[in-house]
Amino acid sequence: MRKLLLFGAICIGIYVAYEVQRIDVPAGFSKPGSLRIVKFIYGGINDLQNLCVSLGLVSFSDGKRFIFNALASTSDIFSRDRDWTDATWDNTKVRIYTNDKVEENGPAFVFIHGGGWVSGSPKSHHPVVQKLFNELQIFTVSLDYKMAPEHKYPGPEDDCEAAIVYLMKNAKIFKIDPKKIMVGGDSAGGHLSIQMAHRFVNRPDHLPSLRSIISIYPVTQPYSLSGPSYKVNENHHLLPTENMAKYWSLYMTGTFEWEEIFRKNLQTKCSYLKELHQSKILDFHFPNKYDYGKELSENEECEYSKEFWDQYGYLFQDDKFSILLKNFTNFPPTFLATMQYDVLRDDGLLVLRRLQKYGVKVEHYHDPKGFHVLLNLVDFCLENKQLIGSIVQFIKQHS
Ligand SMILES: *[C@@H]1O[C@H](CO)[C@@H](O)[C@H](O)[C@H]1NC(C)=O
Nearest CA to ligand 1 atom 4: 329
Is it the case that residue 259 has pLDDT exceeding 90? yes
**35 within domain boundaries:** no
265 confidence band (pLDDT: 50, 70, 90): very high
131 confidence band (pLDDT: 50, 70, 90): very high
In this prediction, residue 76 carries a pLDDT of 64
Is it the case that residue 80 has pLDDT exceeding 90? no
In this prediction, residue 78 carries a pLDDT of 66
Is it the case that residue 347 has pLDDT exceeding 90? yes
**63 within domain boundaries:** no
Is it the case that residue 382 has pLDDT exceeding 70? yes
Nearest CA to ligand 1 atom 14: 327
> What percent of the chain clears pLDDT 70, i.e. is strictly above it?
96
For residue 31, give the 3-state DSSP assignment: coil
Region 328-349 average pLDDT: 97
In this prediction, residue 305 carries a pLDDT of 97
Region 95-117 average pLDDT: 96
Nearest CA to ligand 1 atom 7: 329
Ligand 1, atom nearest to 327 Cα: 1
In this prediction, residue 39 carries a pLDDT of 87
In this prediction, residue 294 carries a pLDDT of 66
Mutational pocket test of ligand 1: of 198, 279, 327, 328, the residue with most ligand atoms within 8 Å of the beta carbon = 327
Quote the pTM value: 0.94
Is it the case that residue 303 has pLDDT exceeding 80? yes
How far is it, in rounded angstroms, from Cα 166 to Cα 307? 40
**143 within domain boundaries:** yes
* Ligand 1 centroid from CA 220, angstroms: 21
Q: Which of 320, 350, 371 is nearest to 154 (CA)?
A: 320
Q: Which helix (H) or strand (E) holds 61?
A: helix 60-78
Region 67-72 average pLDDT: 76
**24 within domain boundaries:** no
Nearest CA to ligand 1 atom 1: 327
**60 within domain boundaries:** no
Cis peptide before 32 (omega within 30 of 0): no
Residues 59-69: tens digit of each pLDDT: 888 888 887 77
Nearest CA to ligand 1 atom 3: 329
* Ligand 1 centroid from CA 323, angstroms: 15
In this prediction, residue 299 carries a pLDDT of 60
Compare 126 and 46 and report the one with higher pLDDT.
Answer: 126
Nearest CA to ligand 1 atom 11: 327
Region 49-56 average pLDDT: 85
Is it the case that residue 41 has pLDDT exceeding 90? no
* Ligand 1 centroid from CA 96, angstroms: 37
Tally of domains within the chain: 1
First-last CA distance in the chain: 65
Q: List ligand 1's pocket residues with C-beta within 6 A.
A: 327, 329
Mutational pocket test of ligand 1: of 329, 354, 356, 357, the residue with most ligand atoms within 8 Å of the beta carbon = 329
* Ligand 1 centroid from CA 275, angstroms: 20
**20 within domain boundaries:** no
In angstroms, what CA-CA distances link 129 with 143, 149, 181, 186, 398? Answer: 11, 25, 16, 11, 18
82 confidence band (pLDDT: 50, 70, 90): confident
**Domain encompassing residue 167:** 83-399
* Residue 1 burial (C-beta neighbours within 10 Å; 0-12, 13-18, 19+): exposed
Is it the case that residue 100 has pLDDT exceeding 70? yes
Ligand 1, atom nearest to 330 Cα: 4
Region 227-237 average pLDDT: 92
Residue 368, domain CATH: 3.40.50.1820
Region 268-292 average pLDDT: 92
Compare 288 and 187 and report the one with higher pLDDT.
Answer: 187
Nearest CA to ligand 1 atom 10: 327
Nearest CA to ligand 1 atom 5: 329
* Ligand 1 centroid from CA 329, angstroms: 7
* Ligand 1 centroid from CA 361, angstroms: 17
**315 within domain boundaries:** yes
58 confidence band (pLDDT: 50, 70, 90): confident
**45 within domain boundaries:** no
* Ligand 1 centroid from CA 152, angstroms: 29
CB-CB contact of 178 with 210 (8 Å): no
